[in-house]
Amino acid sequence: MSANVTSDEVPVTGIPDNERIKRLKQHFSQEFGCEPLFFVRVPGRVNLIGEHIDYCGYPVLPMALEQDILIAAATLNKPELHVRNINNKYVNYNTEIKSCENIDIVADPNGKPFWYNYVLCGVKGALEFLGDKITNGLQLCVDGIVPPASGLSSSSALVSAACLALLYAQNVPLSKTEIASLCAKCERYIGTQGGGMDQAIAFLAEKNCAQYITWQPLKATPVALPENAAFVVAHSLAEANKAATNYYNRRVIECRLAAKIIATCAGAVTDKKIITFSQVQNKLDNTLEEMVNLVHKYLPKDIYTKEEVCDILNVNAEELEQLFFTPNTKHLTEFKLKQRALHVYEEAKRVEDFRKHCSLSASNGSGLNGVNGNGAIVSDNGDCDEIIRVLGELMSSSHESLKNLYECSHENLDRLVSLSKEMNIHSRLTGAGWGGCIIALCPKEKVAKYIDMLIDKFYVKHCNIDIIKAASYVFATTPNHGAEIYVEK
Ligand code: ADP
Ligand code: NG1
Ligand code: MG
């Protein structure tokens, strides 16, 4: 197994001596009758701002969570994969892994992926990358503590951990950016056309800072968060499995169509290729504000039919489907192009503003001296509260946009956001939405009071949840580091 690891590669350290590792080791031995050879750990993430814009080519601003997927692994001397889970609600699975082509990733009869399909995504992508040249198989036992289907990226942590385990077992050194890009590709085998944010932060995260993630080439730039800012995650109690519906892919293809129409109307494309909103902006050399104006100019209608889109793009329905659609969106006939495009361009602007204000607070310590969101000067002893207020307002606008323009919120998420606002705390849905969690920006001294308020007003009074259980759905979090491998040293 690779001994010479550069700082660019996923770190390999000794196996921590803790209860969780002991329990997983024991479960592994019970299942497979041998000891694990190594462990991989990949964190979940929370996105601070920049939702549904990674697949449009725009930067996002996530941070890694403490909650993670931990996998114990051992190699097999035959090309087989044996998968177990410490939680017995997840069934065992065994299969051959002779070639990438032979790994079929098929959902259950209702279209919901089996849990092990996410493991298969990682393994299939790794096999494809290795040209099927593997020297051994794998036994894996999974222990995941990222709340599943909650917008905290349990799926990508699981896919990425499986892919990392296979690559490590084959002794293949990859840089963090290479493996993050590979894992983004892997997860598309589940059926969703994700943008790569989750896998990027899973590998590139650093302790105590969020990351500003940019694409092509993939790069993560650390963003220091204001000294007095705390981030609180609260679960809406609604789960949303993204690959079980076409909601996510529908948004992806609406963005593709809208980008193509703007590009075509503005005379920016001639070939047939898919073009993203950010590519259109670059081609036209416009600002984000100018792109918003072009959306109003070229996409004035609330709804576009498939026929109208074909007419504008001068293609027939078959060509349109072949170029832009996924299997689970081919039957769609109406699209909200203006709304999706406005969200993306405005959200991309909010990310830039958010980052700018974080750097203002970093360069000035807690005594700030810079420009606030309204262009006003923040004085030297103007405190962190002002920056937190500006950042918070950007988060609130993001939520409004996700709710009204992108239509990916949920009534429980909206309730959490408005309860927070009553305490003057800004928040937004995080991750893909349709359920899952909110992320709230809260001055440190208010955290305890804020969490108590949510427990009382949302979980206990609104959802009739027992107060002890309620406390497990809401937590304050700080940025954690990225994926790692543990081996006996
Ligand atoms: P998320 O927002 O958490 O990424 P997804 O809908 O993308 O939500 O993926 C959630 C799915 O990932 C779950 O339904 C389950 O199949 C799988 N999953 C997540 N965590 C685990 C785990 N600890 N063990 C098994 N499967 C898991
Ligand atoms: P979650 O919420 O983890 O399923 C999804 C996408 C991201 C990004 C966000 C929305 C995947 C694996 N993840 O995250 O790429 O588009 O939604 O910002 O598809
Ligand atoms: Mg996911």
Q: In the chain, how long is the greatest CA-to-CA distance?
A: 67
Mutate to test the pocket of ligand 1, among 23, 52, 118, 152 (most ligand atoms within 8 A of CB): 118
Nearest CA to ligand 2 atom 3: 153
Q: What is the pLDDT of residue 379?
A: 33
Give residue-wise pLDDT tens across range 194-219: 999 999 999 999 999 999 999 999 99
Q: What is the pLDDT of residue 375?
A: 33
Give residue-wise pLDDT tens across range 430-445: 999 999 999 999 999 9
Q: Which atom of ligand 1 is nearest to the CA of 190?
A: 7
CA dihedral 393, 395, 399, 405 (to 10 degrees): 80
Residue 428 CA to ligand 1 center (angstroms) comes to 21
Decide if 223 contacts 359 (C-beta within 8 A): yes
Decide if 175 contacts 203 (C-beta within 8 A): no
Q: Which ligand is nearest to the CA of 429?
A: 2
Q: Is the pLDDT of residue 5 over 80?
A: no
Write the CATH number of the domain with boundaries 12-221+480-487. 3.30.230.10
Please, what's the b/e burial string for 308-346 (b: 16 or more CB within 10 A of its CB; e: otherwise)? ebbebbebeeeebbeebbbebbeeeeebbbbbbbbbbbb
Active site residue 68: no
Nearest CA to ligand 2 atom 17: 432
Residue 11 CA to ligand 3 center (angstroms) comes to 24
68 forms beta bridges with 43
With a threshold of 0.90, does the pTM exceed it? yes
Mean pLDDT computed over 349-363? 91
Distance CA 396, CA 393 (A): 5
SS (H, E, C) the chain: CCCCCCCCECCEEECCCCHHHHHHHHHHHHHHCCCCCEEEEEEEEEEEECCCCHHHCCCEEEEEEEEEEEEEEEEECCCEEEEEECCCCCCCEEEECCCCCCCCCCCCCCCCCCHHHHHHHHHHHHHHHCCCCCCCEEEEEEEECCCCCCCCCHHHHHHHHHHHHHHHHCCCCCEHHHHHHHHHHHHHHHCCCCCCHHHHHHHHCECCEEEEEECCCCEEEEECCCCCEEEEEEECCCCCCHHHCCHHHHHHHHHHHHHHHHHHHCCCCCCCCCCCHHHHHHHHCCCHHHHHHHHHHHCCCCCEEHHHHHHHHCCCHHHHHHHHCCCCCCCCCEECHHHHHHHHHHHHHHHHHHHHHHHHHHHHCCCEEEECCCCCEEEEEECHHHHHHHHHHHHHHHHHHHHHCCCCCCHHHHHHHHHHHHCCCEEEEECCCCCCEEEEEEEHHHHHHHHHHHHHHHHHHHCCCCHHHHHHHEEEECCECCCEEEECC
Q: Is the pLDDT of residue 149 over 80?
A: yes
Mutate to test the pocket of ligand 1, among 83, 85, 150, 155 (most ligand atoms within 8 A of CB): 155
- Structure token pair of residue 29: 């031995």
Distance CA 272, CA 320 (A): 10
- Structure token pair of residue 51: 């939702």
Mean pLDDT computed over 158-164? 98
Q: Is the pLDDT of residue 60 over 80?
A: yes
475 forms beta bridges with 233
Residue 239 CA to ligand 3 center (angstroms) comes to 11
Q: Which atom of ligand 2 is nearest to the CA of 54?
A: 16
Q: Is the pLDDT of residue 1 over 80?
A: no
Q: Which ligand is nearest to the CA of 150?
A: 1
By CB atoms closer than 10 A (0-12, 13-18, 19+), residue 145 is middle
Find out whether the beta carbon of 192 lies less than 6 Å from any atom of ligand 2.
yes
Q: Is the pLDDT of residue 3 over 50?
A: no
Find out whether the beta carbon of 195 lies less than 6 Å from any atom of ligand 2.
yes
Q: Is the pLDDT of residue 86 over 70?
A: yes
- Structure token pair of residue 345: 């361009």
Give residue-wise pLDDT tens across range 232-246: 999 999 999 999 999
Residues in the chain: 489
Give residue-wise pLDDT tens across range 265-316: 999 877 888 899 999 999 999 999 999 999 999 999 999 999 999 999 999 9
What percent of the chain lies above the pLDDT cut of 70?
94
Q: Which atom of ligand 1 is nearest to the CA of 151?
A: 2
441 forms beta bridges with 231, 426
If you search the block for the tokens 């405190």, which residue do you land on?
Answer: 383
Q: What is the ipTM of this complex?
A: 0.99
Distance CA 188, CA 198 (A): 12
If you search the block for the tokens 């000035």, which residue do you land on?
Answer: 364
Residue 471 CA to ligand 3 center (angstroms) comes to 24
Residue 198 CA to ligand 2 center (angstroms) comes to 6
Q: Is the pLDDT of residue 178 over 80?
A: yes
Nearest CA to ligand 2 atom 16: 52
Find out whether the beta carbon of 148 lies less than 6 Å from any atom of ligand 2.
no
- Structure token pair of residue 132: 């099927």
Find out whether the beta carbon of 153 lies less than 6 Å from any atom of ligand 2.
yes
Long-range contacts of 416-421 (CB under 8 A, 24+ apart): 416/234, 416/236, 416/454, 416/458, 419/453, 419/454, 419/457, 419/458, 420/450, 420/454, 421/396
230 forms beta bridges with 442
Q: Which ligand is nearest to the CA of 52?
A: 2
Mean pLDDT of the chain: 94
Q: Which is the catalytic residue, given 54, 68, 143, 198?
A: 198
- Cα radius of gyration rounded to whole Å, the chain: 23
What percent of the chain lies above the pLDDT cut of 90?
90
Distance CA 377, CA 387 (A): 11
Decide if 447 contacts 230 (C-beta within 8 A): yes
Q: Which ligand is nearest to the CA of 145?
A: 1
Q: What is the pLDDT of residue 44?
A: 98
Mean pLDDT computed over 448-467? 97
CA dist list (Å): 127 to 343, 398, 480 = 37, 39, 29
Which amino acid belongs to residue 71?
I
Q: Is the pLDDT of residue 425 over 50?
A: yes
Give residue-wise pLDDT tens across range 358-412: 988 777 654 333 333 333 333 333 468 889 999 999 999 999 999 999 999 999 9
Find out whether the beta carbon of 142 lies less than 6 Å from any atom of ligand 2.
no
166 — pLDDT class (breaks 50, 70, 90): very high
Residue 150 CA to ligand 3 center (angstroms) comes to 8
Nearest CA to ligand 1 atom 9: 155
